[in-house]
Amino acid sequence: LSTQVAIVGAGPAGLVLACALGRVGVDALVLERHPREVVERRPRAGLLEPRVVAYLRSLGLADRLLVEGTRHGWCDFLCRGERLRVDYAAHSGGLRHWVYPQQSLVRDLVAALCGAGRPPLFGRPVTAVPAPATGRPRVECAGLEIDCEYVVGCDGAHGVTGDALPRALSGRGVRRYPYDWLTVLAEVDRPVAGVLYALHEEGFAGLMPRSHHVARLYLQVPAGDDPARWPAPRIHERLRVRLAGVVGELPRIGRVTGTGVLRMRSSIRDHLVSGRLLLAGDAAHVLTPSGAKGMNLAIADAAELAHAFARRYLDGDRQGLAAYAARRLPHVHATQRFSDRLLRLLHLSPRDLHDPPRALALRAAEIRRLTEPGRHATAFARQYVGAGPE
Ligand code: APR
C-alpha cells in the first residue's frame, strides 16, 4: 500500500487530520490497532471549545454535533457548602462549550471518512516506523507495509511513533502531581446540568455532564491508589460527603458503570518532528483532564498540521511543516499553565491541611473573584473556553 500521509491512530487527532486532508485532496490513510466498534464506543472526553467546533463546522464535520450537542457556559464551585457560579460565557463575551461525547464525534469522523471512500484500516496495530529521519518513511503494521511520504503519530499517550524519535529528540517535560483522580462513570436520572468542582478538606470531587443518562465523576484519591479499593458503596458515600450541601439539587447518581484511576501527570514532548515523522495529540502531549483540554488540543494540532500539509502539497511550500512544533508548543504550554492553575485551586496542599477551614476560606475568596466581572474573571473565562488571550 502507499499513501502520501500515513496517520497512526484513529482518535480525534488522527481522524480530524485525515478528514481535513481529504477535503484538500491530500491522500491520507489512518491505521488503527483496535476494531471500529471499540474506537466508536470508548467513553472519553466530552467538552468541545467553540473555536474547535467552528473548525469542524468549516470542514462539514459538525452536522450531528450541532444538532445533538448541548451548550455549556458556566461552571460551579462548591466550597464550604457555598455554591459559586462562574459564568464564563458572560465573562468571555458569550463563548460557550459544546457538550458532545468524544465517541459520538469519533463515530461522525469515521463515517465521514468512509463516506469519502477513505475508511480507516481498523484492527491494524502499527508495530514499527523505521528510520523516519531519512528518506521515505515506511509504516509496518500487522501484515501490511505502507509506503508514504510522511507519518503522523496520533497514537495517543502509549503509542509507538514517539519511540521512533531519535534519542536526541526524545526529551519531554514530565510533571507528577501528588494525588490521583478516581474516574467514575455513573448513571443519572436526568442530565447533569453543568460542571461542578467541589473543594473539600477530604479531597476534591468533580461532576461533569456527558449524556442524558450518564455522568462522569472524579474523586481525588492518594497517588497510586487502586480502583479495586473503590467499590460503588464507597464511591457513593464519599460523594455524599464531598458534595454535601448540593446533593439534593443534583441528579440522583445511580449505578456505577465504570471506574478507573487516572494517574495525575502531564508530559509534553520537547520535539514533535523528526524528519518526516510528526506527532500530534496525546502522542505529543498529555495533560491532566482539568479544564477538559486534551481533545481540544488534539484537534487544534490536527488543524495546524492539515494547514501545513495543504501548503506543502498544494503550493510546494514546506515552511508550514517546518514551523509546526514552534507554532503548537506555546499553546500546549499555555494550556498546561492554565490546567495547573485550576488544579491548584481545586486541591488543598499538604501545607493547607494544617488549617483546612482557613485554606478553604481563601479558596472561596479566590473563586469569588472569578464570579465577579473584571479582568481576573475575563482572563479565566477566555482560557477556560479556549478563546486565547484578548
Ligand atoms: N497502532 C495503531 N493505532 C494505535 C497504536 C498503534 N501501535 N497505538 C495506539 N493506537 C491508537 C489507539 O487505539 C487510539 O485509538 O491511537 C489512537 C489514539 O487516540 P487517542 O488516545 O484518543 O489520542 P488523540 O487522538 O491524540 O486524542 C487525545 O482525546 O480523549 C481525549 O482528552 C483526551 O487528550 C485526549 C485526547
Q: How close is the Cα of 13 to the center of ligand 1, in Å?
A: 8
The residue with cell 492539515 is 306
Are 260 and 293 in a shared domain?
no
Question: Quick one: pLDDT at residue 134?
Answer: 67
Same domain, 251 and 270: no
DSSP codes joined into one string, 38-69: HHHH-----EE-HHHHHHHHHTT--HHHHHH-
Do both 139 and 244 map to the same domain?
Answer: no
pLDDT attached to residue 234: 97
User: Distance, CA 105 to ligand 1 centroid (Å)?
Assistant: 14
Amino acid at the residue 150: Y
Return the closest-CA partner of residue 44 out of 194, 190, 212, 214. Answer: 214
Is 69 part of a structural domain of the chain? no
Distance of CA 274 to the CA centre of its chain: 24
Supply the pLDDT for residue 212: 84
220 shares a domain with 247: yes
With 0-12 / 13-18 / 19 or more C-beta atoms within 10 angstroms meaning exposed / middle / buried, residue 263 is middle
- Whether 332 is in a domain gets the answer yes
Give the domain range for residue 136: 2-46+101-175+266-339
Q: What is the pLDDT of residue 57?
A: 98
Q: Which protein residues touch ligand 1 with a CB less than 6 Å away?
A: 8-14, 31-34, 39, 44-45, 102, 125-126, 154-156, 159-160, 281-282, 294-295, 298
Are residues 21 and 119 located together in one domain of the fold?
Answer: yes
Look at residue 43 in the predicted model and tell me its pLDDT: 80
Nearest residue (CA) to ligand 1, atom 31: 295
pLDDT at position 45 is 81
In a domain, 331, yes or no: yes
How far apart (Å, rounded) are the C-alpha atoms in residues 347 and 116? 47
Does residue 151 share a domain with residue 130? yes
Total domains, the chain: 2
Picking from 251, 242, 189, 248, the residue whose alpha carbon sits closest to that of residue 77 is 242
**Span from the CA of 14 to the centroid of ligand 1 (angstroms):** 8
pTM of the complete model: 0.94
In this structure, the answer to whether residues 169 and 181 fall within a common structural domain is: no
Q: Do both 366 and 245 map to the same domain?
A: yes
Atom of ligand 1 nearest to the CA of 286: 34
In a domain, 35, yes or no: yes
CATH code (residue 254)? 3.30.9.10
124 within 8 A of 142, measured Cβ to Cβ: yes
What integer pLDDT is reported at residue 175 of this predicted model?
95
pLDDT one-digit tens code per residue, 280-305:
999 999 999 888 899 999 999 999 99
Within-domain flag for 58: no
Ligand 1 center to 92 CA (angstroms): 31
pLDDT value at residue 354: 94
Q: Are residues 358 and 211 in the same domain?
A: yes
Q: Would you tell me how many other CB atoms lie within 10 Å of the CB of residue 37?
A: 9
Q: Assess if residue 59 is contained within a domain.
A: no
> Is residue 107 located within the same domain as residue 224?
no
Q: What is d(CA 75, CA 72) in angstroms, rounded to the nearest whole number?
A: 8
The string of pLDDT tens digits covering residues 68-104 is 999 999 999 999 989 999 999 999 999 999 999 999 9
Please identify every stretch of the chain with a pLDDT value under 50, giving residue numbers as ranges: none
Do 188 and 334 belong together in one domain?
no
Quote the ligand 1 centre to 8 CA distance (angstroms). Answer: 9
Which three cell numbers mark 102? 468524544
